[in-house]
Structure 1
Amino acid sequence: MRTTNEKQVLQQIVNAGPISRSQISRNLCLNKVTVSDIYSQLLSEGLIREVGHGVSTRNGGRKPVMALLNVGYGYVISINILRSRFSMITCRLDGRSENYQSVSTRDVDLTTVLDMIDERIAATIAASETKLLGISFGLDGVIYDNQILGASLKGFKNFDLAKYFSDKFQVPVVLENLANESAIYERDFSGKGVYNNLISVTIRDQVSAGIITEGHLYRGHNGEAGNIGSCPLADRYEEKTSDTVNHYVAERPVLQKIMAYQKLDRVDVNRIRRDYLGHRPELLAILDEFAFYLAKVLGNLSNTFAPDAIVVNAPILELLPEIMDKVRTYVDSMAIMRKAPMILTKNAKEASLMGGASAIIHKALALDDLQLTFGNQRSAVLEEVES
């Protein structure tokens, strides 16, 4: 375990690198000897590397040595498990993702799915020149203290997924639900302080909300916060009738309605887009229902939590982003006090995967309780500019 000072020095190098020891000392109000000792330790561990000299002060003197996180130290793997597929990326310690894979698991049992994931991880390790530092898993359900307390997928509830893969590959494993992973992504990859209070609504097998308050993920009692898919929602036409949010808004019911009118047994995204642009009335009616009920969900979240923004992550909205305008119109018509900005994620395909990568990077660097900001590396000025 790292000391508080060690954590803060490493956090500075991750978030603000390339950076000098003297600048770290000033930023943290730590004496230079303490910072130099920690810096030397991190350098000997191979976690950081020196990249040249920065600009000297106006008073002259030696140019400071600049340091960066050593992204070649190792990598992490992030995996999302859904109803009929799993997706996987490898990620460097600076948050750069590589090798996206999506694997169908349709009509495959749990044991076979685990074997398929095992094989993909083993193949990645065999092909890599650096070491695996950790694995993260994301799935729909209730997850608390790295345990699956509830899951939409059969066989996963109370199965110790973290221990299973930690024992196999001898690395730390982090479990999180997809909505929380998406919220972590928006917090850590959008820039420092952009979203200190946000809600990320993920629409997959279930409708879930990841909640960030004052920069920290809020999980609630036993990880049950954000489990909005099971909440009741009044029917649009008969107020005395209600069903769950999942029934009206989750991905599967919406796609089933679309496949039914198209008389198809699979999802044809090109046909959906073509029918939308052609103003096919059956499709427009289904999407209007979806927009109406989603607006109810987002409006209630906005009024209840007063976030800086609500970010929506849904494949149907990635395919048809125009629907979001209708959602906003429905929200605007609601008699609520707080109407937060409602935006689509910029990375629907990988948002939860990247959020999972951030979670395991935090764990691998022993920085669980500190915020890291990725995709924010500054260019180092390695030589003094001549006037």
Structure 2
Amino acid sequence: MKTITNKDLMRRANSKLVLQEIFNNDYTTRAEISRHLGLNKSTVSSIYDELKEEQLVEEVGEGAASHVGGRKPTNIRIYASYGFTINFDISYHNLHFMANYLDGSVIAQAETTIYQKNIHEILAIIEHQINQYVDTVVSVKGLLGICLSIHGIVNEQQEITYSPFIDFEDVNLNERLSAKYHVPVVLENESNLAAVYVRDFMMKFDSKNLVAIGIHKGIGSGVIINNRLFRGFRGQAGEVGRTLTKNAQGQLTPIEQICSEDAIINRISDELGLTGLNRYKVVEMYREHNHNVVAAIDKFIQEISSLIYNSSMYFDTGAIYLGSPLMEAAPEIFDQVLIKVQQLSHSEIKLVRLTDSDKATLLGACSVITHYALDLVGYPLNFFKTKD
């Protein structure tokens, strides 16, 4: 067996840095990489030749010559069609899924109902979708990895330790899918993935702290501290839906039991004796000033605003991002939350409403699994390109 030397380790580290530099730009040149990383030009060229041979990078024309003239440099970038990832969000009602090329660009996105299906039926749908993409997406290496968004708690051992909406029984999704498809498989909390999306798709790589709060059937949050996802000791960091508040009877209860989207719909349905109520009907009735609906939304605004304020104080974050299909359907609710938060806070809290929160979760999943596919876990990857 070949002995791994310090020279080998240095070469591997430099290769990762060069690949990261190429990924994080729409295009770059070997000279720019050498300058940014402080590496010898011959080292960069040698690593680039290896990446090119593997088809991880491609050439995209000539750049501008230097001020002293000479040969124009060759622009290079990550080769998107090197391979693709598949990402799933297993929610209570629907399975959302998305296929992405290596650079994060979307190949396809869709959803299908999984309401009242057991985990074995859900897994069969997941495998069917994976097989379909494997058979149809054209790329060099094919499938590179799979990420699953879980509306619950996932620990460091990739075990689902808490799932209030779906019974995963004893099915080990990671082992099952990695054994079948021979690619990295990662499970992660849905709100954590939304936070990763904000970090990697919306923002540049300056120092950042943020909280992404998702309001769906439950309420959760993902926390980014110093650019890194904060998961806590057992993966439970960000479970703000379990924050205690008082219900109408004055009893302490988790806030998600009275302020999640499903809790609001259920409350209105019970009070008005309605069936089949959904968020769009709730919004319609809210805009018609239905007394019960207005009261439910007002309670929601009050409680969520307090939760946002408290989250900001806990983490001293620069910004809080809200993913809420209800607020997407009725932006005026977000506007009232924003006003309420500003009233509560003596310092300005930057509050941003995420649009298309389901897509945000899937793109966060894309980022997570792309890090694994490229063996760049812990290396910041920028999917928000800025170079013209």
1:283 alignment counterpart: 293
1:279 shift after superposition: 2.0
The CA deviation string for residues 172-210 of structure 1, in whole angstroms up to 9 with x for no partner, is: 111100000000000001131367110000112321110
Equivalent residue for 1:111, pick from 114, 117, 120 = 120
Q: Report matched runs for 1:216-295 at 5 Å.
A: 216-235=228-247, 241-261=251-271, 263-295=273-305
Equivalent residue for 1:137, pick from 137, 143, 148 = 148
2:167 alignment counterpart: 155
The answer to whether the 8 Å contact 1:150/1:157 transfers is: no
Determine helix, strand or coil for the equivalent of 1:58. Answer: coil
Indicate the larger mover: 20-29 or 3-12: 3-12
The answer to whether the 8 Å contact 1:303/1:339 transfers is: no
1:126 shift after superposition: 1.2
1:126 alignment counterpart: 135
Aligned length: 376
Measured in 2, the distance between the counterparts of 1:347 and 1:197 equals 22
Measured in 2, the distance between the counterparts of 1:355 and 1:264 equals 36
1:113 shift after superposition: 1.0
1:51 partnered with 2:60: yes
Indicate the larger mover: 159-168 or 63-72: 159-168
Q: Report matched runs for 1:1-387 at 5 Å.
A: 3-130=12-139, 131-145=142-156, 146-156=158-168, 159-193=171-205, 196-235=208-247, 241-261=251-271, 263-334=273-344, 338-376=347-385, 378-379=387-388
User: Could you say which structure has the greater relative contact order, defined with CA pairs below 8 angstroms and 6 or more residues apart?
Assistant: 1
Change (3 A) 1:264 1:192: same
Change (3 A) 1:377 1:296: closer
2:6 alignment counterpart: none
1:143 shift after superposition: 0.9
Determine helix, strand or coil for the equivalent of 1:291. Answer: helix
Equivalent position amino acid for 2:330 in 1: L
Measured in 2, the distance between the counterparts of 1:200 and 1:25 equals 36
Determine helix, strand or coil for the equivalent of 2:88. Answer: strand
Q: Where does structure 2 lack aligned partners over 5 or more consecutive residues?
A: 1-8
Determine helix, strand or coil for the equivalent of 1:222. Answer: coil
Measured in 1, the distance between the counterparts of 2:306 and 2:210 equals 18
Measured in 2, the distance between the counterparts of 1:258 and 1:64 equals 64
1:339 shift after superposition: 4.5
Change (3 A) 1:330 1:157: farther
Measured in 2, the distance between the counterparts of 1:52 and 1:229 equals 51
The CA deviation string for residues 286-315 of structure 1, in whole angstroms up to 9 with x for no partner, is: 111111111111110011111110001011
RMSD over aligned Cα atoms: 1.9
The CA deviation string for residues 43-87 of structure 1, in whole angstroms up to 9 with x for no partner, is: 111100011111101110110011110001111011000112210
Measured in 2, the distance between the counterparts of 1:228 and 1:76 equals 30
Measured in 2, the distance between the counterparts of 1:329 and 1:215 equals 28
Indicate the larger mover: 145-154 or 183-192: 145-154
The answer to whether the 8 Å contact 1:148/1:157 transfers is: no
Measured in 2, the distance between the counterparts of 1:229 and 1:345 equals 18
Measured in 1, the distance between the counterparts of 2:39 and 2:329 equals 50
The CA deviation string for residues 70-124 of structure 1, in whole angstroms up to 9 with x for no partner, is: 0011110110001122100011121112321111112211111111111111111
Identity of aligned residues (%): 30
1:338 shift after superposition: 4.8
Normalised TM-score (structure 1)? 0.92
Measured in 2, the distance between the counterparts of 1:193 and 1:322 equals 32
Normalised TM-score (structure 2)? 0.92
The answer to whether the 8 Å contact 1:311/1:343 transfers is: yes
Indicate the larger mover: 277-286 or 109-118: 277-286
Indicate the larger mover: 349-358 or 247-256: 247-256
The CA deviation string for residues 253-292 of structure 1, in whole angstroms up to 9 with x for no partner, is: 1121233456443244443332232222221111111111
Measured in 1, the distance between the counterparts of 2:170 and 2:244 equals 26
Indicate the larger mover: 41-50 or 124-133: 124-133
Determine helix, strand or coil for the equivalent of 2:358. Answer: coil
The answer to whether the 8 Å contact 1:251/1:316 transfers is: yes
Change (3 A) 1:333 1:267: same
Determine helix, strand or coil for the equivalent of 2:238. Answer: coil
The answer to whether the 8 Å contact 2:280/2:329 transfers is: no
1:376 shift after superposition: 0.9
The answer to whether the 8 Å contact 2:81/2:138 transfers is: no
Indicate the larger mover: 287-296 or 93-102: 93-102
Measured in 1, the distance between the counterparts of 2:347 and 2:312 equals 6
Q: Where does structure 1 lack aligned partners over 5 or more consecutive residues?
A: 380-387
